[in-house]
Chain A
């Protein structure tokens, strides 16, 4: 209860609910202009409660399962940062009780976001609907489709935080790949049309996509359905979609989606060390021998010579690598591959990989001082308090160019159009990392959003030029490039504004 209360009282939760509501407003286009949200067999489904509830819930599964992790996975870290962890663990509370509370807090946050989205969807039906508003129908469809998703994300966030060695940035990055993989698995792409979702699929299908495909086909007799406005001309009259059924089989299928989260909880319990410093600190120093610590120990000696040079240019950029020595190896690998790979491979394979790494490497450039409790010392140093935003923008740009500079430079020479896109994309990431870091105080916001953008761009494969922000597909037009450049400038200005606002708040 205390955890849920703490989370729900935070201003960021209110912002989250509002953002979800805004998402619903943007997701439901105006049917009077021929647009639609749900298309079945080429026909637009009327905006009735069952159709809107179904479509918006199915749509929300993606942002909920992706962004929801980054929003929820802060529960244990928050207790550590506020030093409440030491107080809590000295009480009689059992580990299971404590973690259940955190799990409930995670779920509560996600349910609040879902509720905000649902309320906005209902409001949109009131504005653009084509049938009576049925709130209970919304509740039922959302519960059926999204409750395993909430359970999965809440449990995953808990497990990653409890797991030594992967809690933190590494866990955030790993989740992205786990999410990409499991979303695809849940749909069972190998399943033949008309075939039932397998037992395995039911357990892993937390987004409900696999379930939805099967149910829509069963209810409507067609496998041709889409959510979102295709922009294609409307050729068939609209239809009425009755929504998903609550047959025993449907409910049993979705209930199986709770199995993996249920198994994740005992895993979290087994991994949780109750904040025991002995499990995090070695008396002889060197930290726990987690994977990240081992990698850091291996990379540290190799990084010393180049970092000694970087120190003279930018101690803060050097700090980025010093705090995570494996980044030195990754930057070096990027430079070597940037020079040796065929240019098409540089563009289509190396640059996307570099952009993914930058999502992690840049995320805490503007937040690490505050998160480490070091900000006061830094602000007392010359030129740091008032010049913080400029300093961090320079650091982020330098770090980004150290990773992407060689492949980008090579692309600028051999394929200037793609090279310009790559350069703009790199600087966009740098500026956005700083702006979001200063504004939100956490690296997770930038990391989640940049990985989401990366995912969209990778899946678009250049078919949507506007998403070719990194020049990977050489499809961005000059207008698109100008748009991303403008976004970079906007993020840069936002960095200064956010820092000024923060200083004004803190006096």
Chain B
């Protein structure tokens, strides 16, 4: 459905936002993971035709979206990382406006979207009175109003409370079906439960891609648990990769990521996706992408 061929985005001064990124994505949820500044937003902006790549091709169902951006825009729903709204419009008015921009004239569709994101009870309230979570939900509604085949959501759960994050993930999971949903985040738990494929990026390059199970298999033997004293804690944190920490009566329980036993008292545990992500960050060079299957 979506094929990325050696896509790069160079900025002035020779800096790259994205460098030689290549992979394919099929319908379902693709989680794009990476630290801040990894190039996730730049990459998504290129697919959403908000900015153009400086090299490479982006093909959506065989159509080059750089040459023919309208082809993808007609089938696209995009929720950017940072977006504003018109404060003195109501939720209904703004969603209706965006719907019309996308060629959707059905008010029933607008109401349906508001219902889906649980904003139907506040549809006639001005957006200036909306909380951050409510705005994010409206954001996903506007991304879906035209029933797109490709949905791009950039860091959609930032600022949401736990309940809203779960609701958000459920909405994305429900809609994925025949669509490709690309969800970019630096919060691993956002993709853990819903992504069928994960791509990990760092410094503008693809580090690894594959189903979550494959990433977990690749990280097998890299997760450890150990108990350290409070006095040792700072030193261990400086020297080791810590993916979790809990203070208990008997000491500080650390979850560690390392290729080999990091501490004499460390015991191996099964890795979770966060461990696998940290393992990748630790061990992979950005110039060599691993396709994990």
Contacts and interface: CB of A to CB of B under 8 A. Distances in A.
A507 B74 contact: no
Contact of B100 (A315, A368, A374): A315
Interface in A348-386: 368, 372-374, 376-386
Q: Which of A312, A318, A319 has the most CB of B within 10 A?
A: A319
A322 B98 contact: no
Interface of B: 9, 11, 45, 48-52, 69-70, 73-74, 76, 78-80, 82-89, 93, 96-98, 100-103, 105, 122, 125-126, 128-129, 142
Contacts of B125: 284-286
B11 to A, nearest CB: 7
Nearest to A380: B78
Contacts of A319: 86, 89, 97
A286 B87 CA distance: 10
Contacts of B45: 376
Contacts of B80: 376-377, 380
A322 B124 CA distance: 13
Contacts of B70: 382-383
Contacts of A386: 69
Interface stretch (A42-50, A87-95, A275-283): A275-283
Given A285-B129, A287-B88, A377 B83 contact: yes
Greatest chain B CB density within 10 A among A284, A373, A380, A382 is at: A380
Contacts of A384: 101
Contact of A372 (B49, B86, B101, B103): B86
Interface residues of A, number: 35
A504 to B, nearest CB: 10
A286 to B, nearest CB: 6
Contacts of A372: 84-87
Contacts, number: 96
B291 to A, nearest CB: 29
Given A283-B129, A315-B97, A383-B70, 13 more contacts: A285-B122, A286-B129, A311-B96, A316-B101, A323-B88, A372-B86, A374-B84, A376-B45, A376-B83, A377-B83, A381-B73, A382-B103, A385-B50
Interface centre among A316, A323, A506 (most CB of B within 10 A): A323
Contacts of B98: 377, 381
A506 B11 CA distance: 10
B288 to A, nearest CB: 28
A385 B51 CA distance: 10
B110 to A, nearest CB: 12
Contacts of B96: 311, 315
B113 to A, nearest CB: 14
Nearest to A373: B84
Q: Sorted from nearest, which 8 A-B pairs have the closest CB atoms?
A: A373-B84, A285-B125, A315-B100, A285-B129, A380-B78, A376-B80, A381-B101, A382-B73
Contact of B129 (A287, A296, A316): A287
B135 to A, nearest CB: 10
A472 B101 CA distance: 37
Contacts of A368: 86
A506 B78 CA distance: 18
A282 B126 CA distance: 10
B41 to A, nearest CB: 10
Interface in A448-507: 506-507
Nearest to A319: B97
A377 B78 contact: yes
Contact of A506 (B51, B73, B82, B122): B51
A181 to B, nearest CB: 29
Contacts of A286: 125-126, 129
A286 B127 CA distance: 9
Contacts of A376: 45, 48, 50, 78, 80, 83
Contacts of B79: 377
Contacts of B49: 379-380, 385
Nearest to B86: A372
Contacts of B128: 280-281, 287
A286 B85 CA distance: 15
Contacts of B69: 385-386
Contacts of B86: 319, 323, 368, 372, 374
Contacts of B85: 372-374
Nearest to A292: B88
B184 to A, nearest CB: 14
Contact of B48 (A284, A380, A382): A380
Contacts of B76: 380
23 contacts: A280-B128, A285-B126, A286-B125, A315-B96, A319-B89, A322-B97, A323-B86, A323-B88, A323-B89, A368-B86, A372-B85, A374-B86, A377-B78, A377-B79, A380-B78, A381-B101, A381-B102, A382-B73, A382-B74, A383-B70, A385-B50, A386-B69, A507-B9
B83 A373 contact: yes
B92 to A, nearest CB: 11
B100 A311 contact: yes
Contacts of A312: 105
B161 to A, nearest CB: 18
Interface in A393-419: none
A179 B122 CA distance: 42
B65 to A, nearest CB: 11
Q: Which of A323, A376, A378 has the most CB of B within 10 A?
A: A376
Contacts of B105: 312
Interface in A244-290: 280-287
Interface centre among B45, B69, B86, B142 (most CB of A within 10 A): B86
Contacts of A283: 129
